[in-house]
Each structure stands twice: as structure tokens, then as C-alpha cells.
Amino acid sequence: MKKLVVLGGGESGVGTAILGKQKGFEVFLSDKGKIAEKYKKVLLKEEIEFEEEQHTETKILNADVVMKSPGIPDKVSLIQKLQDKSVKVISEIEFASEYTNATIIGITGSNGKTTTTMLVGHVLKQAGLNVGIGGNIGDSFAGQVANKSHENYVLELSSFQLDGIEKFKPHIAILTNITPDHLDRYEYKFENYIKSKFRITENQTENDFLIYDGDDEVITNWIISTKIKAQLMPFSIEKELEQGVFLRGENIIMKIKTEEILMNASELKLQGKHNVKNAMATSMAAKLMQVRKQTIAESLSDFEGVEHRLENVQKVNGIQFVNDSKATNVNAAYYALECMDVPTVWIVGGVDKGNDYTDLLPLVREKVKAIVCLGLDNQKIIETFGGVVDSLIETAGAEEAVKVAYKLASKGDTVLLSPACASFDLFKSYEDRGTKFKEAVRGL
């Protein structure tokens, strides 16, 4: 019996353990931290051997295959030891994909991948397709392959998940954009991160499709210099395309063999340039899945959006509070600031992943009246923006940040939480940060 070791007892780890046991592996799960109660119950019910708050190397190094959680870097000594012993170390996505014949739509990018994943899933469900949504969000892909056997999967894929693939290939890959992110995991080399994102297409054939942002120079330059086998399907809001999706005036035009107007951009439920692009990528994927044009347009005009992504929380005395906690990098914060059309008090900060804030300076000068720092180390933010805004105040918690921002704002202004940083200095996750922000707003 082959031995599968699962490193990490979260959603992807427990899903992989269940699938592994179902497929006849001897399974051992190990987590260096504490395993959440809900996952422990599942492991006990499924009679899967596990340990927490330690890694027993004697039980791990004799594995035939190891699935590691995307949060564990390759540089960790345990992973190095496994690689030295030529033990295969893969991601949940790689492991699960071997046990399904479903059509897979894989979505990656620095920003917009969650919204696009949810949007594609929404459109396909509205069209009556049997769809599972997973990957970096929701229920694990492996758990769904074990228990649900959907005919189609829409998967949000992080660069860390793509780092652990060997044969995995989506029939349709979507690359929303590439901007510097997670550089701390990629030796502070942007090229390493780009290469990681492009792994989504490395196993695709000429029968598969790569949908990508034709306005993104990083992506288009990489495509020119690399041999991509998949059929290329760009989208653009800046130029008309021979094939793909583009804007003509306010109309979203889809052109594969023939040209057709999909809808007017003003009819989209989610507004902002980035959401027009998310809708374009979605509509192309849906079209390739044989969804009717009318269904695509109707679904795009009634989709409600994703929690913690430019989420209107509420107005307090004429001041609008917006939760964009999911903006964990500079480019995401750029999109958020670009959407602001009234004076804005910007709450920013957290764990810096090698950020360069200079791209934000023109938007901050134009739109931001005050900055509230929400993080333990705000030095770079202070150095970049200290002389640009009238007020810059440091805070050490969501409640304090909200109270300070409320005092700095006037009726008609917006208070925007768009941190441009990871959350792990003060919060468990970006969801925890967003939830605490919303609780603080409702407590005003």
C-alpha cells in the first residue's frame, strides 16, 4: 500500500487525506500548528491517522508521495529533506486532478481571481451546468472529487498551488493580471513569480485555451517570448482585437469566429475597470463552455460580488465605509483607489511582502485626504505618503482604525479599508481583518 503524507490540517489537507484514503493510500496527516476542531472531527470520523503541533520526521520521510499545504515554503528543512530523498512533493490540485475526468477551468492572477472564479461559477450554474467551485476558496478540490464528482470545476489557483503541479492542466486557463506580489516567497525576483503564474498553461495543448489580459504588458511580453501551446484568447479595454473580448464605446464585444455585442458595460452589476475585465474573462470562458449569450449577459448583470472585495458596509452620518480587506497587494489597492469618486480616508498597512507604493502616489494625491495605518510596521507607508496627505495616523487594531478614520472623514466622504498588505501581524487572515473592520463600523 502506497503511503500518502499530508502536511497541513486545513481545508486542502483534510480534503486530500479523505481522497487519498478513498483511493487506497495509507494516509498520515501532520500539522505543525493546532488543527481546528471541525477538521479534527472529520479526521477522527474518517479514521485517518494524524498529529498536530509537531512533524514526526520518521513518519514523514518514508512517504511515497507528500501533499503539502500551499502555505509551507519549499525552503523549509523538512521539504528539503523530502526532496533530497526524491520523494514527490505536490499540491492538492495536482493530487486531486488525477482522480477526475471533469472539465477544469483554472483561474490565477495577482488580483481579480476570486471575483472571476465566483463569477464564472455563477454563470455556469445559471446555465444549468453541474459545477464545483474550489481551489483557493470554498470547499477543497480534493474533498469535492472524493464526495461530489462534479462534471465541471472552476478553481481559483494561487502561485503556491501552481508551484506544486506536475501534470495538472485546465481545459480553460484564465490569467487575470500579473503584478509584483508574494516576492518574499520568490527570492524577491519578479521573474520567478511570473514563471510561477504561467505554470497554469504549461501542460495545456492546442485543444485548450488561455484567456488573458491583453492590456497587461507583463503577460503579453511573456507570451511573445515563450511557446504557449494553448489557443490564445485575450481581452482588452484599451484596443479592439482580431479575436477575444474588447470594448467598443460602452459595448462589450465578443469575437471568436463572428463578432457579437454581449452587453453594455454599464449593465454590469460590479462596476470599475477591473470588474469590466473580470466580466470579459468570464464571458469568454462561458462562451467556450457553450453557454448562450443571453444567459451570460443576465448572469453578469445580477452577480452580487465577493465579501471583503470593495464591499459597501454601511453609511454612518453620510460617510460610506468600504471593506476591501482582500486587497493584500499594491495593485489591488490601486484598483480600489481608482474606483473612489469622493474624498477618501484610506486605511492601509499590515505585513509588507516587498511592496513598492510609488505607483499609488498619483491616486493618493488626487483622491486621499488622510491615511490611517493599520499594522505593526508602517515605516515604508510613512516614508512614501507622509508628505502627500495632510493627516497620517498610526493605529494598532480595527476598532481604533475605524474610530480614527471616522473622525478624519466628513459627510459625503468614503472610508476605505484597502490594506495593500497581508494581515498576519494583527489578524488571523484577511477575512478576519475584514470582519473586525465591519464589526467596528457597525459599533460606531
List residues forming the annotated binding site for ATP: 109-115
* Cβ–Cβ under 8 Å, residues 362 and 344: no
The pairing of beta strand 209-213 with beta strand 231-236:
parallel
The DSSP H or E segment spanning 346 is strand 344-348
Of all residues in the chain, what percent are helix, strand and coil, respectively (each to 5)? 40, 25, 40
Residue 167, C-beta contacts closer than 8 angstroms, at least 6 positions apart? 94, 97, 98, 203
Strand (E) or helix (H) holding 141: helix 141-147
Closest CA to 69 of 97, 91, 89, 38: 91
Strands 172-175 and 209-213: parallel
Output the known binding site: 109-115
Residue identified by cell 499594491 is 330
In whole angstroms, what is the distance from residue 329 CA to residue 1 CA?
44
Q: 305: number of CA atoms within 13 Å, CB side?
A: 18
Specify the residue for cell string 445580477: 302
* Torsional sign, CA 157, 162, 166, 169: positive
State the sign of the Cα–Cα–Cα–Cα dihedral 171, 176, 177, 180. negative
Which of 265-289 are b and which e, b meaning 16 or more Cβ less than 10 Å from the residue's Cβ?
beebebeeebbbbbbbbbbbbbbbb
Whether the Cβ atoms of residue 150 and residue 81 lie closer than 8 Å to each other: no
Beta strands 251-255 and 259-264, pairing class? antiparallel
Alpha helix (H) ranges present in 243-392?
273-288, 293-300, 330-339, 361-367, 379-385
